[in-house]
């Protein structure tokens, strides 16, 4: 982009040098028609002086360009007025199995977090040895998957040694003590590059530790790698390659939490942290056969993370089971007061919950679009076989969501977040330059009027209220992952979802199902997913190439 411009600035520039005043008036009328407005000649004439004034004001503002980390001070809350955030946190009784160290050490690659935690806590393996094991897997397979941006080996060994020393002194921080993991490379870690997956920022070092990283440090976890993301959190192409699906290396991992999903599914790490704005946990978790939790909006402070969209960005764990998701979420949730959209809500997960007490439903109008032998139907059959009533319901998504609000919100906020990138022409360095990627998207987004953005968010409030009221009757809503408009709706309303594998399609790629929960109730959908995974093998299937 050679010079950033909006339609407004284009016609301002034109009418300043227009041959006649009538030319300027006609240009104003033609331009506002693009915004579904109609002004008379008199009305357009009255605008001319103000338009010149605004152009001068904009130029003064642009003398200093805003960096990505400057906060947007108006915090979005998905909670309709008159309702309260649950804050009564109860003690969670995590269950650790008593297991021996496997004779075949390669089996550790796919051990669950409770299994690894048991080995660490009972000193059957040291954190140093476990960390070395996963570092070697990252070195062996990271290039194959193109999933690792920065290997943090020195830091990992330092943190692993500290975990072992603390354990010798009787200090045990909890289930993530000494457990290796990876971070999507949009979270800042002091002393390491935070590349955001794209050439303009590939050498960027941010002097800050992201809240998520700080929480995991407090929990005793060991950072082994900063993982790939599609450029500026879109898809799976980054400055170093295209992250692969471990089940089919000819296929991309999807994204944007590409390296997080691919690395976990291939057993390169026990868990990883991803983010979602509109599908970036759900989509790669589906493609790679991982289990992803997209928590309620605001559940985890995003301080120290790249901003794509202040009112839509969410951080969450990508693991190989819902129980692992629950464990990681417990340790990373909360706020540090540096993210105006973050809240500290209760998470009362029960590993032994009686899910028969939960109210299940499935979206019949989505399921009826599927063949009767589709794997998604077997999920309903499973829950019914456990004595759970699963009520068929109609989800009125076209009534709740008659127009594409998310495009206006995401486009406007992301263009603002990367205004500096556009205005300095460094957007030319981004890996994709097609009309469907960020550089052109940021340009197009400048035609979104502030009035329309604000009104889209007012309609969003109504959507949040409709969804909140709808979910009062259900604890677990089962949907085919990409059916209907629910993915856009739940990202806008902030409802939590769990996405988990349910088998494979006819080409051998994983399939998934999604469980939608009530706002701030991750516990119910995780408990429901755990029951399914405890009695089925879908999440215990691993890509053969990475089994040794």
Q: What is the pLDDT of residues 177-235, one digit of tens each?
A: 999 999 999 999 999 999 999 999 999 999 999 999 999 999 999 999 999 999 999 99
Phi, psi of 44 (to 5 degrees): -65, -40
Q: Which helix (H) or strand (E) holds 361?
A: strand 360-363
The residues carrying an active-site annotation are: 184, 256, 280
What is the Cα–Cα distance from 197 to 207, expressed in whole angstroms? 18
- How confident is residue 1, by pLDDT bands cut at 50, 70 and 90? very low
Specify burial of residue 50 (Cβ count, 10 A radius: 0-12, 13-18, 19+). exposed
In three-state secondary structure terms, 373 is: coil
What is the Cα–Cα distance from 21 to 75, expressed in whole angstroms? 43
What is the Cα–Cα distance from 156 to 522, expressed in whole angstroms? 30
How many helices and strands, by DSSP H and E, does the chain display? 19, 15
What is the Cα–Cα distance from 220 to 241, expressed in whole angstroms? 32
> Nearest-CA neighbor of 221 among 266, 187, 179?
179
What residue spans define the domains of the chain? 7-69+416-455, 105-343+353-399+459-546
User: Which pLDDT score is estimated for 19?
Assistant: 60
Question: Which of the residue ranges 16-20, 54-58, 442-446 would you say has the lowest mean pLDDT?
Answer: 16-20
Q: Name every residue whose Cβ is closer than 8 Å to that of residue 257 and which is 6 or more positions away in sequence.
A: 184, 229, 272, 274, 275, 276, 280, 281, 284, 285, 292, 318
Q: Are 422 and 443 a contacting pair, CB within 8 Å?
A: yes
Phi, psi of 255 (to 5 degrees): -165, -170
Q: Are 237 and 230 a contacting pair, CB within 8 Å?
A: yes
Q: Name every residue whose Cβ is closer than 8 Å to that of residue 107 and which is 6 or more positions away in sequence.
A: none
What is the Cα–Cα distance from 23 to 305, expressed in whole angstroms? 47
- How confident is residue 33, by pLDDT bands cut at 50, 70 and 90? very high
pLDDT at 6 over 60: no
pLDDT at 371 over 90: yes
User: Which pLDDT score is estimated for 460?
Assistant: 98
- How confident is residue 247, by pLDDT bands cut at 50, 70 and 90? very high
User: Which pLDDT score is estimated for 548?
Assistant: 83
Neighbours of 519 (CB within 10 A): 25
Q: Are 232 and 196 a contacting pair, CB within 8 Å?
A: yes
Tens of pLDDT, residues 60-109: 999 999 999 999 999 999 999 999 999 999 999 999 999 999 999 999 99
In three-state secondary structure terms, 476 is: strand
Name the DSSP letter for residue 455: H
So what's the architecture of 105-343+353-399+459-546 in CATH? Alpha-Beta Complex (3.90)
Q: Most confidently modeled of 2-6, 11-15, 130-134?
A: 130-134
> Nearest-CA neighbor of 231 among 268, 183, 280?
280
User: Which pLDDT score is estimated for 453?
Assistant: 97
> Nearest-CA neighbor of 319 among 298, 294, 297?
294
């Amino acid at each position: 982009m050679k010079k950033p411009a909006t339609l407004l600035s284009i016609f301002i520039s034109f009418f300043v040098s227009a041959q006649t005043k009538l030319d300027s008036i006609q240009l104003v009328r033609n331009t506002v028609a693009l915004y579904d407005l109609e002004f008379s000649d008199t009305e357009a004439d009255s605008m001319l002086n103000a338009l010149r004034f605004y152009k001068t004001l904009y130029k003064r503002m642009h003398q200093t360009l805003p960096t990505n980390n400057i906060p947007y001070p108006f915090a979005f809350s998905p909670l309709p007025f008159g309702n309260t955030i649950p804050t009564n946190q109860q003690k969670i009784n995590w269950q650790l199995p008593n297991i021996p160290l496997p004779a075949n050490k390669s089996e550790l690659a796919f051990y669950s977090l409770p299994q690894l935690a048991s080995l660490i806590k009972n000193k059957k393996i040291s954190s140093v040895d476990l960390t070395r094991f996963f570092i070697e897997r990252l070195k062996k397979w990271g290039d194959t998957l193109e999933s690792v941006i920065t290997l943090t080996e020195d830091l990992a060994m330092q943190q692993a040694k500290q975990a072992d020393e603390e354990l010798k002194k009787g200090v045990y921080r909890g289930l993530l003590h000494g457990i290796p993991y990876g971070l999507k490379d949009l979270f800042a870690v002091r002393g390491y590059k935070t590349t955001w997956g794209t050439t303009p920022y590939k050498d960027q070092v941010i002097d800050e530790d992201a809240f998520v990283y700080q929480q995991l440090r407090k929990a005793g976890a060991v950072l082994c790698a900063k993982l790939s993301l599609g450029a500026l959190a879109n898809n799976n192409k980054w400055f170093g390659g295209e992250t692969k699906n471990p089940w089919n290396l000819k296929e991309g991992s999807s994204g944007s939490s590409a390296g997080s999903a691919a690395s976990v599914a291939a057993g390169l790490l026990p868990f990883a942290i991803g983010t979602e704005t509109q599908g970036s946990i759900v989509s790669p978790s589906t493609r790679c056969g991982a289990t992803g939790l997209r928590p309620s909006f605001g559940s985890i402070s995003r301080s120290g993370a790249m901003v794509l969209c202040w009112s839509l960005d969410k951080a969450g764990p990508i693991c190989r089971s819902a129980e692992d998701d629950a464990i990681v979420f417990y340790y990373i949730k909360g706020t540090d007061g540096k993210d105006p959209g973050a809240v500290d809500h209760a998470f009362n997960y029960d590993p032994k919950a009686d899910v028969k007490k939960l109210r299940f439903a499935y979206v019949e109008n989505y399921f009826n679009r599927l063949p009767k032998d589709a794997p998604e139907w077997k999920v309903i059959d499973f829950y019914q076989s456990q004595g759970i009533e699963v009520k068929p319901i109609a989800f009125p998504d076209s009534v709740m969501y008659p127009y594409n609000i998310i495009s206006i919100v995401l486009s406007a906020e992301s263009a603002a977040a990367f205004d500096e990138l556009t205005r300095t022409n460094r957007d030319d360095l981004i890996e994709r330059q097609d009309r469907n990627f960020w550089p052109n998207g940021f340009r197009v987004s400048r035609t979104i009027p502030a009035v329309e953005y604000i009104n889209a968010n007012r309609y969003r409030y109504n959507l949040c209220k409709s969804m909140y009221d709808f979910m009062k009757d259900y604890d677990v809503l089962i949907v085919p992952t990409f059916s209907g408009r629910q993915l856009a709706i739940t990202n806008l309303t902030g409802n939590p979802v769990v996405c988990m594998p349910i088998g494979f399609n006819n080409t051998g790629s994983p399939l998934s199902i999604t469980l939608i929960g009530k706002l701030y109730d991750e516990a119910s959908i995780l408990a429901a997913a755990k029951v399914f995974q405890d009695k089925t093998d879908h999440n215990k299937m691993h890509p053969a190439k990475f089994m040794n």
